[in-house]
Structure formats: structure tokens, C-alpha cells
Chains A and B, each alone.
Chain A
């Protein structure tokens, strides 16, 4: 009973502004919305019909409700008799969707536009060039929007269009709601489908889409797509749908005990993005939220078993590869052994980069979302091959006694790497007897 009361209050909170609008019997007669619609119905019929079919249209939210601007706004321009802005920011959306705005603002998504200071942006700018950074990086991460007083809509074509999820808007807000709710239908159904996330979450460095498709979750989803009830406003896993989870189900959507949250990271235990995986702040609380989602369909031993395996894989990556590789690179850099002074000007740097940024993430994402092929063949297999037969040989090419000693010590003393100097027959026997596996038993121990 309490649960239903909470749910009803939750829905009322979300629907409040909408209901307020629905109750409005006669919209403002001075609103230029009628003019907008008359012209745009012909000029941009696709956009118009998307809007017409949207929930916004049903609830009387018209063009001017989102696009109205104050004359002082840096991106405001006069369009016939109205001051408008092309750009609709999360702040604009927050006029009705205040809770979602707050959740997004506190999320990792909202900070994706800070990429310009990161290594990824450096790489795109130096090795490729500005256009690649605009259309490649900033399309997903979001650009700091530039104002151009000479542009018809005051937005510089260097950064507009842009619907990157961490867009830095002229009004100071961060993010872009239409990254997941594309204009002008703004359909919740679309945001709930994995394709929405996979605009960005795919490829060699973060193949979440591919891992999902490989996993049982993805398989089941595509089999039972018609039963997903994606258009239902209330979308509680196990109650409103049960066939399969999508990205949204696990990371955002409502469960019987949790409300939907636009803070997309608040059910994650690990940060798998950096070279060395780290625990999220409050990871136990966050983890319990995710386990709550799992338990809509899985028993508790299934859930704890998965985390037991997953955590071990992440620690394996950290301990066996990430820590030594990072230590080796630090040593090389501290001794100024690299020929080119520019980052990414030396082969060994590319090898190290891909080790953590590409295959390192593939292995960890594969493990987190139960994608066996991504955990092993696209993941640890590639890590191992590149660690032993690319990174170490490139380091040895530097002919530095300290580097060589460091490598020799690692391969001789670390039980995880000692296999390189042992006969295959002995190793096979150790696998059969279970002795080799004991080397990794500590990785399964909980923190």
C-alpha cells in the first residue's frame, strides 16, 4: 500500500506542471503560437507532424512555450513579431520538467562537455583536426556553444547544430535533453530503447551497445520488442513490462521501489572509464539500487553471483595489467626516454592508450553487462596480447637499463606473469589441478 502511495505521489509530482497546462481552458490569446504553426506546418512539415503527434501537443505545449526568449538572451533573435531562440536548453525544459533538470544537472552526463580538457580531445585535435573534434567528439559529448552575432539565429555554425549530452549552453546550463529525447516528438519510448543510448555508447572504446546486443538481455529484448510497452507513461519493471531490460531499465527507470532517475550514474559501483578502475562514491548504496533492479527478474544468489564474478574481473584488469602498465609508462616518462616531446608522438603511448582506453574498457564493460565475447576475445585476449607483445617490446626498444630491470622483475616475481618463463606442460597441469587458479583467488575477496 505504502508503495502505491509513494508511486501516486511520484506521478503527481511529475505530472503537476502538465496537469496545470491541461487544465488551462484558454491559452494566452496574445501568444504567437498560431502564426508559428500556420507557417511551419508548410515550411517544416516533418517537424510539425512530429510535434503534432507528441505528448507536448496533446498537453497544449506549443512552439513558443519552448522557443520563447528574452531579448537580453545572447542567442535571442527576432522572428516576425516574437523574440525566440533556436536553442532549447535544459533550463528551458525545466520550466515544466524541474525534477529531471535537477537530476541531469547532477549526473555524469551533464559534465560530458568538459571533454575539451581531456586526453581524448587532445588526441582528436592533434592527430586529426578541428572538424573531426566538432563532428566526432562534440557530437556526443556536447560543445560549448558559441554565439555569433552575424548568424541568423545567433549560433555559430562551428558549434550548432549540437545535441551532445553535456552541451555547455549560453544560459549556463549543461546538457541537452534532446540527446535522448530527439525533437520534435520527444518520445519517452525512444529514450527507453537501447538505440537511443547507442548513438554514443558503441565502438571500440565503449561498446555498450554491442555488449548489450551480445548479452541475454539484448537477445531477449529484440525477440520481445513488441511486448515492451514502451509508450506507457508508467514503466515499472516487472509490473508494466517484463520481457527484457533495456539500458534505461537498469540505469534509470522505475522499479517497484525506486522512481525513475535522470542521474544516470546513480546505480553504478565502479568507474570503468579511467586507466585504473575505481569505486564510485557511495558505491554500496548505488550498487544496492542496481541489485534492486536485477531482483525484479532474478533471485538474490544470481545477483550476488554476478557481482562476485564481475568485481573479480575488474580487479584482475586493475592488478594484472592496468597497474603495471601505468607504472611502466610513468617510469618511461619520468626518465624522458621518449623521442617525440608531444603526447601520442611515440608508438608506446598509442599501445598504452589502447590497452586501457579500448580493450581495457571492452573487457570491463563486457564483464559488467554479461557479454562473454567482449569480456574475453575483444577484451582480456586483446589486453594480454598487447601487454606482452606490444607494450613490453616497445618499452624494451628504448634500451634503458632501469626499464629492462623493471620488466624482468615483473615477469619473474609477479605470480600472475610468471607463466611466460614456464613450460606449457607444467602450466596445463597446474590448470587441471586448480593450482594456477589459486593465484587469482584474492581477486574474489570482497572489499
Chain B
């Protein structure tokens, strides 16, 4: 059998191109099979091996196969002879004798072609499967995707594959994604991609279709309590708390209009934004099933006949129906504010809080302007070690492991959030699912987005959440009895009564 195959490939290698084709095809086939056996056997586990196994070898295999007929065609042109004549010369006469099922050569080629088709089907299936894996998305385009890959791996969606959100279902979505991928490949080759990657990503598949596979609106009911633990920049990094009891229902509960009202079945919220950036609203309206609508317009945006013009000289071409990502724009690729990043890790006790000024110094180390990630790693260590060496020399000996752990955590924060190769630094990608720095909710819920009667959309503090602690010493401070001597007495009493439904 082997002899028969060797006999065949010797004959089919009509010139050096043919030989190259045969070598490529055979060797990539054998290597692919070997690597796949090793992978199935659990011997090869390297994430990058898939890139070679499922992309390189099938490509080489097909290239080799194509070279063989090309070689014959070239030889035909060169010698001005027909394929039959060439075949007669290369193969034994016996191979060419016509038989009822076809000549032996035809049978051999058919047999091998059948094997090739089976192999290529299997390989293509494996290739597509591999391209659907997060590893492929995150590592194939390493330079561009590294920030997203890094944040994805530590996100709440780390176990959901990229394609489940970024590529729709069905052949059409598959083709769209491959075309888009090819375009991005060209941009990578010609170094024509944006740094950082521009957001919002407008080609994202409809968020409701994606997100609601797991998070379906019937589940948005009741309240959800979030305790945010922060730390003061003082010697003991004193903790303080803001606790929100978020009203997350869809507004169907009696007398409630919760945050998910925006995506309730009876409401369609639409908006246009300056430059379609989804940051500064031009107008926003809500449509009911009967077709009626109520519109609020941003009075800071002036309209003229050629479109929308603002002091930001923006215009909009897109009327967008609000969905999950308008608020949850960073559900997975979460880039924290440096202070929040430090606070969260202190709250998780990843860092020893008994180290004096540890919050302040970690934050300081993280927010220095470094030129690249490598310099930052060194700089963070220098800063934190330097601080303790100068100010608390006795600690640098006794607490070195804790200090080193703080350095490690600070570096991990930095490398997760700052990526110099992509010009991505602190707060490049703000999150919209809160309202710090007048973004998020306050894009629409503010005093300047008003209806024809001059009324603004509600933006009072307790519309969307009860407040149970507000930079307070304890997480449920306002649940307790207010102290009339406390300057914040009126606020305490009002928030307690609101939470208890006494207002």
C-alpha cells in the first residue's frame, strides 16, 4: 500500500513544483495528524498550538494539493504536449489501461481525493471550531486584541466565548464575521487599525438577542443591593462605604419604574447622539405600542437644516433603539478607574491593609506616566519600595513579603488596564452603567435634556436606587436612627424614610 502510494507520488511529481506540492501536502498531513493525536492524548496543551494545527497545516495542505495540477499544467505548456501524452510517459501503461471502474490511475486519484475530502472536511470543521474559541480571538491578533483578551479573562463573562456575543448565529453571521475578519487582517498587515480601538463597536450583533439568551427580562425584578467599599488615602486606609439598593425591575411591578424599564416590552427608547458616539445625546424619546411617543431634546445641541450641530460640531446619522449595551457598554471588557481598581483589591484583602498609606501609595504608583508597560513594572516597584524605605524603614525588613505582594497586585492592575502598544490608558473606555463624571445615566437624565414643556427626565437620586450608605463609616449607615447633631441628619432621615417606603 505504502509502495503503491510512493510509486504514485513519484510519478505524479512531474517537475519541481509538483515535488514541492507533494512534499507540502504529505508533510502537513502527517504533522497535522500527529499534533491532533498529541492534543487528543492531552500531551500538547499549549494554547498557541491551535493556531499552528488548525490554521497553518490545513492551509499548507491545500496549497500543496493545488501545486500538483499546476505543475502538470506548466509542464504541458512547456512541452506542448497533452496531459494524456505526459501521463503515458510518467505512468506505466498498465496504470492507464481502461477498466470497467476506470483505469488504475483514475481509481488511485479518486481514492486519494476521497481521503483528501474526508481530511479537509474534518480539518475545516476543526478549524472553524478553533476559530470560534476565545483563544483564537484573543491570541491570533495578539498586538491588537491583547487589552480585550486580558480584561475578558478576568471578566464576569470569562466563560462565555467571544463569538457568542460578537458573532451571530447562522451562516449569514458566519460569513459576515469572516469578511469582517479578512478586512481586519488587512488593516493589521498594513498597520491601519485604530489605537485604541474605536468604540462604540457599531457592527456588534443585536445585544438583546445576545444578552437575553442568559439574562432574560423576566428575571429583572425586585431590588439588588451593592456595597461599594472604598478606602481613604490616610495612614490606615480607613474604609468607607456607599451602599445602593438598586431598583432593577422593568417597571411592571405596581408603582415601580425600575432601571430595566428602558427595555421593558411596552417601551421602545430611541436616541440620536452627537457623532453617533453615544456620549452626548441630541434627543431621546420613548415610543409606546400604540405609536405615540414623547421626546426630550438636549437644549445644548442646536439644530440646523444640514443636520445637528453643537459646540462639539457633531452630527448624527443614526437613530438608535436603546438596548443592553447602551448602559452595560463594558459588561465584559471592564476597564476600572485606578482608584476603584485599588479599592476593590483592598476590599478583597489581596493587599495587606495594615501597611501604612498603602492605598495612597499604590494609587500614586499606578498613575505615574510611564512610557511602556515594562517601565511601569519597574516604576511601580521603585515607588512602593522607595516609599517604605524612606518613610517606614523598619517595615521594609519585617513586612517585605506584604510589600512585594502589594507591588505584584499593583502591577497586575496596571497590566490589565494600561496597554501602551494600543495607546490605551486609564479611563480610555469609560463605563456607562453608573453616573460618575456625568456620563452613563446622566447622558439623558439631566437638566438639559427636556421635553417641549421644559420638563427634564427624572434625575433625582432615589429614582433608581435607595441609598443606604453614602461615603459612610458603616455599610448600612442610613438604616440606623439619624442623629440630630449630625450635619447630614436631614439626608440620613430622608434616605432612611425613602428606603422604608415612608415618604
- Interface of A toward B, CB cutoff 8 Å: 24-27, 29, 31, 33-35, 37-39, 41-42, 52, 57-58, 60, 62, 80, 152
Contact = CB atoms under 8 A, between A and B. Distances in A.
Interface stretch (B134-142, B161-169, B421-429, B488-496): B488-496
Interchain residue pairs A-B with the least CB separation, the first 3: A34-B494, A57-B487, A33-B490
Interface in B417-461: 447, 460-461
B490 A152 contact: no
B231 interface: no
B41 interface: no
Nearest to A31: B490
A29 B503 CA distance: 11
Contacts of B492: 34
Nearest to B470: A41
Nearest to A62: B490
Contacts of A62: 490
A89 B46 CA distance: 74
A35 B492 CA distance: 10
B410 interface: no
Nearest to B435: A42
B489 A35 contact: no
A38 B493 contact: no
A82 to B, nearest CB: 12
A52 B487 contact: yes
22 contacts: A24-B484, A25-B484, A27-B489, A29-B493, A31-B490, A33-B491, A33-B494, A34-B490, A34-B491, A34-B493, A35-B461, A35-B494, A38-B462, A38-B470, A38-B494, A39-B460, A41-B471, A41-B491, A52-B487, A58-B487, A60-B487, A60-B489
Q: Max chain A CB contacts within 10 Å: which of B447, B484, B487, B493?
A: B487
Interface in B463-500: 467, 470-471, 484, 487-495
Contacts of B470: 38, 41
Interface of B is mostly: mixed
Contacts of A26: 484
Contacts of A31: 490
A52 B487 CA distance: 7
A296 B249 CA distance: 70
A39 B465 CA distance: 12
B490 A37 contact: yes
Interface residues of B, number: 17
B97 to A, nearest CB: 91
A37 B488 contact: yes
B491 A38 contact: yes
Contacts of A27: 484, 489-490
A58 B488 CA distance: 10
B417 to A, nearest CB: 24
A152 B461 contact: no
A253 B260 CA distance: 60
A80 B487 contact: no
A39 B490 contact: no
Contacts of A41: 470-471, 491
A35 B503 CA distance: 12
Given A29-B493, A33-B491, A35-B461, 7 more contacts: A27-B484, A34-B491, A37-B488, A41-B471, A57-B487, A60-B489, A152-B447
Contact of A35 (B460, B484, B488): B460
A26 B488 CA distance: 13
A34 B491 CA distance: 3
Nearest to A64: B490
A97 B236 CA distance: 41
Contacts of A57: 487
Nearest to A34: B494
Contacts of B461: 35, 38-39, 42
A390 B488 CA distance: 64
Nearest to A63: B490
Contacts of B467: 38
A58 B487 CA distance: 6
A58 B494 CA distance: 19
Nearest to B487: A57
Nearest to B460: A80
B240 to A, nearest CB: 13
Contacts of A33: 490-491, 494
A56 to B, nearest CB: 9
A26 B486 CA distance: 11
Contacts of A39: 460-461
A38 B463 CA distance: 12
Contacts of A35: 460-461, 494
Contacts of A42: 461
